[in-house]
Amino acid sequence: MGRAFVYVIVGGGVAAGYAALEFARRGVAHGELCIISEESVAPYERPALSKGYLLPEAPARLPAFHTCVGANDERLTQKWYKENGIELVLGTRVKSADVRRKTLITATGETISYKILIIATGARALKLEEFGVRGSDAENVCYLRNLADANRLVGVMQNCSGGNAVVIGGGYVGMECAAALATNRIKVTMVFPEAHCMARLFTPKIAEFYENYYNSKGVEFIKGNVLTSFENDSDGKVKAVILKDGTRLPADMVVVGIGIRPNTGLFEGQLHLEKGGIKVNGRMQTSNASVYAVGDVAAFPVKLFGNEIRRLEHVDSARRTARHAVAVIMAPTTGDLDYLPFFYSRVFTLSWQFYGDNIGEAIHYGDFSSGRFGAYWIYKGVIVGAFLEGGSRDDYEAIANAVRLKATVKDIPELKRAGIEFAFRVSEQAAPENGLLVEKPIYTKYAAAGVVLALSIASVAYWYGRRRRVW
């Protein structure tokens, strides 16, 4: 049994949703495009799972956050796919792929063939077992990568009110889950091996601000330590977490956020891999000309970093790379992607954005006590990265410009003093009337991560009884 399509997307997450919209806008004919997804729902904005989805009041639920609301664009429900003649094969895992024969075989035994394939298989959460710790299958141990995980987490959380949670991992999933748990009146202890939270991005000074803020919400941190085992009750539920130094933490629930691994398995030995992902060129094309890769699974050249190959695990990158691949497929004269890496997070009533790369020297500015601060990263005399907490839309546009334009820094004390004003000056000097063309930063087009998330943040703000600027 088999079916044939001109275009097939394997994976039905963020990138698939944005690719579908781009295909529709570029006039894909009915019956030409098929999306195969292991998940049982149409593509949705995954970041909502650790934000609006976990709110104690008026939580976000599907269909509200199907893609592409995160880019303030159309919301693609299952009906939309039907109306646009796009075959959505849900709840179906692709179990093997043959890029030479251009075929995929699903877990149900169906063979689906394609002329052009887009790999959008994303990544999966790393399991404790991969680090030699057993017990992930206990009913009160949660991960968070997909909707099924989120539903499970909500269920466990609801039975844990007033109890203790241990969050393993200090990255963005751990940080966002810890904030959500605390908001749900659960006492949280975070455990991670690094010296401070968000170690891959934050400087110690930035991390200190967030850790103090979390402390003020009752969240405690145990740093430089790791989980070694669980203590279970007679029903098999975890009742305590044991750390490497012997510390025993009583736990009514555990959330594990220790990183992800790209889903490359179907294509290993068939396509070139790099940085743990599928290597593509600036047109998102893999080592096989009929196969493209986008989103978390793709390792692509970042022009801004001298075409260094990077694999980004950020929603904006998934959206952009997906749209670019479809543009290339439908309009073959399309050039290489020119992407400014961008990442954001929102916890409690805080909100930050980061653009570029965090290499070189970090220069902090602003007022850390009032929560209005930022940092620039300077490498070889130019700004290569910028972080800002609590900025306005204009502020974020300005720092994005400073990074994109690789603004030269001659006087570091002056940069520190000027802070965000430095970025505004750079934008002003580069304005078209001053002779230089500034490409509109991503923020204005995509970073306003959508209606649902806006509503979620608004709800958090409401829950805290405060008014705050959301975007």
Ligand X SMILES: Cc1cc2nc3c(=O)[nH]c(=O)nc-3n(C[C@H](O)[C@H](O)[C@H](O)COP(=O)(O)OP(=O)(O)OC[C@H]3O[C@@H](n4cnc5c(N)ncnc54)[C@H](O)[C@@H]3O)c2cc1C
Question: Of 70-78, 114-122, 199-207, 369-377, which segment contacts ligand X by CB under 6 A?
Answer: 114-122
Q: What is the smallest separation between the CB atom of 93 and ligand X, expressed in angstroms?
A: 4
> Which of residues 242 and 458 has its CB atom nearest to ligand X in the complex?
458
> Which of residues 87 and 231 has its CB atom nearest to ligand X in the complex?
87
Q: What is the smallest separation between the CB atom of 232 and ligand X, expressed in angstroms?
A: 26
Residue 94 as a binder of ligand X (CB under 6 A): the answer is yes
> Which of residues 50 and 401 has its CB atom nearest to ligand X in the complex?
50
Q: What is the smallest separation between the CB atom of 92 and ligand X, expressed in angstroms?
A: 6
> Which of residues 136 and 247 has its CB atom nearest to ligand X in the complex?
136
Q: Which burial class, exposed, middle or buried, applies to 114 when counting CB atoms under 10 A from its CB (0-12, 13-18, 19+)?
A: buried
Q: What is the smallest separation between the CB atom of 369 and ligand X, expressed in angstroms?
A: 25
Q: What is the smallest separation between the CB atom of 240 and ligand X, expressed in angstroms?
A: 26
Where helices occur in 184-257 by DSSP H, the ranges are 204-216
> Which of residues 168 and 378 has its CB atom nearest to ligand X in the complex?
168
Among 8, 9, 14, 64, which residue sits at the site for ligand X (rule: CB under 6 A)?
Answer: 14
> Which of residues 353 and 427 has its CB atom nearest to ligand X in the complex?
353
Residue 73 as a binder of ligand X (CB under 6 A): the answer is no
Residue 388 as a binder of ligand X (CB under 6 A): the answer is no
Among 5, 37, 174, 292, which residue sits at the site for ligand X (rule: CB under 6 A)?
Answer: 37
Among 22, 316, 357, 395, which residue sits at the site for ligand X (rule: CB under 6 A)?
Answer: 316
Q: What is the smallest separation between the CB atom of 329 and ligand X, expressed in angstroms?
A: 17
Among 11, 70, 282, 391, which residue sits at the site for ligand X (rule: CB under 6 A)?
Answer: 11
Footprint of ligand X on 330-359 (CB under 6 A): 343-345
Q: What is the smallest separation between the CB atom of 370 and ligand X, expressed in angstroms?
A: 23
**Residue with nearest beta carbon to ligand X:** 13
* 3-state DSSP of the chain: CEEECCEEEECCCHHHHHHHHHHHHCCCCCCCEEEECCCCCCCECHHHHHCHHHCCCCCCCCCCCECCHHHCCCCCCHHHHHHCCCEEECCCCEEEEECCCCEEEECCCCEEECCEEEECCCEEECCHHHHCCCCCCCCCEECCCCHHHHHHHHHHHHCCCCCEEEEECCCHHHHHHHHHHHHCCCEEEEEECCCCCCCCCCCHHHHHHHHHHHHHCCCEEEECCCEEEEEECCCCCEEEEEECCCCEEECCEEEECCCEEECCHHHCCCCCEECCEEECCCCCECCCCCEEECHHHEEEEEHHHCCEEECCCCHHHHHHHHHHHHHHHHCCCCCCCCCCCEEEEEECCEEEEEEECCCCEEEEEEECCCCEEEEEEEECCEEEEEEEECCCHHHHHHHHHHHHCCCECCCHHHHHHHCHHHHHHHHHHCCHHHCCCCCCCHHHHHHCCHHHHHHHHHHHHHHCCCCCCCC
Footprint of ligand X on 284-313 (CB under 6 A): 295-297, 313
Residue 120 as a binder of ligand X (CB under 6 A): the answer is yes
Question: Of 38-46, 76-84, 161-169, 279-287, which segment contacts ligand X by CB under 6 A?
Answer: 38-46
Among 7, 46, 227, 341, which residue sits at the site for ligand X (rule: CB under 6 A)?
Answer: 46
Binding site for ligand X (CB under 6 A): 10-16, 36-39, 46-47, 49-50, 93-94, 120-123, 144-145, 173, 263, 266, 295-297, 313-316, 318, 343-345
